Amino acid sequence: MKPVKVGLLGLGTVGTGVVRIVEGHQEELQRQVGTPIVIERILVNNKEKRRNITIDPEKLTENVEDILNDASIDIIIEVMGGIEPVKDYIMEALAKGKHVVTANKDLMALHGTEVLEQAAKHGCDVLYEASVAGGIPIIRTLTEGFSADRITKIMGIVNGTTNYILTKMSQEGAVYDDVLKEAQALGYAEADPTSDVEGLDAARKMTILGRLGFGVNVELADVAVKGISKVTKEDIAYGKKLGYEMKLLGIAECEEDGIDLSVQPVMVKTSHPLASVNGVYNAVYVYGQAVGETMFYGPGAGELPTATSIVADLVSVVKDLRLGVNGKYMVAPYKEKKLRSDAEAASKYFILLDVADKAGVLARITQSFAKHEVSLESVLQHPNPLNLNAEIIIITHSANRAGMKNVLADFAELDVVNKIRSVYRVEG
Residue 196 interacting with ligand HSE (CB under 6 A): yes
Q: Of the candidates 274, 301, 312, 355, which one interacts with ligand HSE according to CB under 6 A?
A: 301
The smaller minimum CB distance to ligand HSE, of residues 201 and 313, is found at 201
Select from 148, 145, 189 the least CA-distant residue to 295: 145
Per-residue contact track with ligand HSE, 244 to 283, x per CB under 6 A?
A: ----------------------------------------
Indicate which of ligand NAP, ligand HSE, none lies near residue 10 (CB less than 5 to 8 Å, by partner kind).
ligand NAP
Residue 137 interacting with ligand NAP (CB under 6 A): no
Select from 250, 227, 224, 221 the least CA-distant residue to 180: 227
Residue 286 interacting with ligand HSE (CB under 6 A): no
- Say if CB 166 and CB 337 are below 8 A apart: no
Spell out the residues 6+ positions from residue 58 whose beta carbon is closer than 8 angstroms to its own.
none
Indicate which of ligand HSE, ligand NAP, none lies near residue 196 (CB less than 5 to 8 Å, by partner kind).
ligand HSE
DSSP 66-112: HHHT-TTEEEEEE-S-SSTTHHHHHHHHHHTT-EEEE--HHHHHHHH
φ, ψ of residue 229 to 5 degrees: the values are -65, -15
Per-residue contact track with ligand NAP, 91 to 110, x per CB under 6 A?
A: ------------xxx-----
Cis peptide before 36 (omega within 30 of 0): no
Indicate which of ligand HSE, ligand NAP, none lies near residue 406 (CB less than 5 to 8 Å, by partner kind).
none
Residue 167 interacting with ligand NAP (CB under 6 A): no
> Is 319 part of the annotated catalytic residue set?
no
Q: What residues between 33 and 52 interact with ligand HSE by CB under 6 A?
A: none
Buried b (16+ CB within 10 A) or exposed e, 123-162: ebbbbbbbbbbbbbbbbbbbeebbeebebbbbbbbbbbbb
Residue 14 interacting with ligand NAP (CB under 6 A): yes
Q: Which own/partner pairs from 379-382 qualify as long-range (CB within 8 Å, at least 24 positions apart)?
A: 380/238, 380/241, 380/242
Sole window of 6-14, 262-270, 324-332, 410-418 interacting with ligand NAP (rule: CB under 6 A): 6-14
Reported as half-sphere exposure (CB side, CA atoms, 13 A), residue 334 has a value of 3
Q: What residues between 29 and 88 interact with ligand NAP by CB under 6 A?
A: 43-46, 49, 79-81, 85
CB 280 → ligand HSE: shortest distance, Å? 7
Query: Distance between CA atoms of 138 and 296, rounded to whole angstroms?
Result: 7
CB 181 → ligand HSE: shortest distance, Å? 16
Indicate which of ligand HSE, ligand NAP, none lies near residue 302 (CB less than 5 to 8 Å, by partner kind).
ligand NAP
Residue 201 interacting with ligand HSE (CB under 6 A): yes
Residue of 87, 98, 153, 205 marked active site? 205
Q: What residues between 143 and 162 interact with ligand HSE by CB under 6 A?
A: 159-161
Query: Distance between CA atoms of 35 and 227, rounded to whole angstroms?
Result: 46
Q: In terms of C-beta density within 10 A (0-12 exposed, 13-18 middle, 19 or more buried), how is residue 63 classed?
A: exposed
Select from 376, 168, 347, 350 the least CA-distant residue to 262: 347
Positions marked catalytic? 205
Residues in contact with ligand HSE by the rule CB under 6 A: 134, 159-161, 196, 201, 300-301
Per CB under 6 A, residues contacting ligand NAP are: 10-15, 43-46, 49, 79-81, 85, 103-105, 130, 134, 301-302, 306
